[in-house]
Amino acid sequence: MKDVSFIEKLLDGADVEWKPLWKVTTWDKKFNAVDNFKQPKVIKYHYLLSKEIKSLISESGRVKLLTTNPSNLHTTEERAGNIVSQGEVIAIPWGRKSCCSVL
């Protein structure tokens, strides 16, 4: 029997259109080490500190706030306002290891 890779098992025969990651991502800044044609669109996102993420927390929220430590935190679309965009993931590389994702 032929060895089946993890991805082949995961796909279970499904047809997949493979694309390079740069074709399906939007960058928040230009990177010198990446060809310009691979960064056609750059969106300037807000950079949030941990305390700013904490201010988004709402008991009645339906938008999950993801953190690097165990938590069950949510916010509302109203509180997120124009700070967080649909589908955006915010990662904080310093401070109180937190991140937020609009699902």
Per residue in 21-69, pLDDT (tens digit) is 888 887 777 888 888 888 888 877 666 677 787 888 899 988 887 766 7
Q: Residue 80 contacts by C-beta under 8 Å, 6 or more apart in sequence?
A: 56, 63, 102
Residue 86 backbone phi and psi in degrees, to 5? -55, 130
Q: Which two tokens stand for residue 55?
A: 């201010």
Greater confidence (25 vs 78) lies with 78
pLDDT of residue 14: 92
0.85 exceeded by pTM:
no
pLDDT of residue 96: 46
Shared-domain flag, residues 65 and 91:
yes
Which of the four pLDDT bands, split at 50, 70 and 90, describes residue 19?
A: very high
Shared-domain flag, residues 56 and 93:
yes
Residue type, 18: W
Shared-domain flag, residues 27 and 54:
no
pLDDT of residue 102: 46
Residue 78 falls inside a structural domain: yes
- Structural domain including 28 reads 6-38
Shared-domain flag, residues 60 and 89:
yes
Shared-domain flag, residues 68 and 95:
yes
Residue 23 falls inside a structural domain: yes
How many domains are contained in the chain? Answer: 2
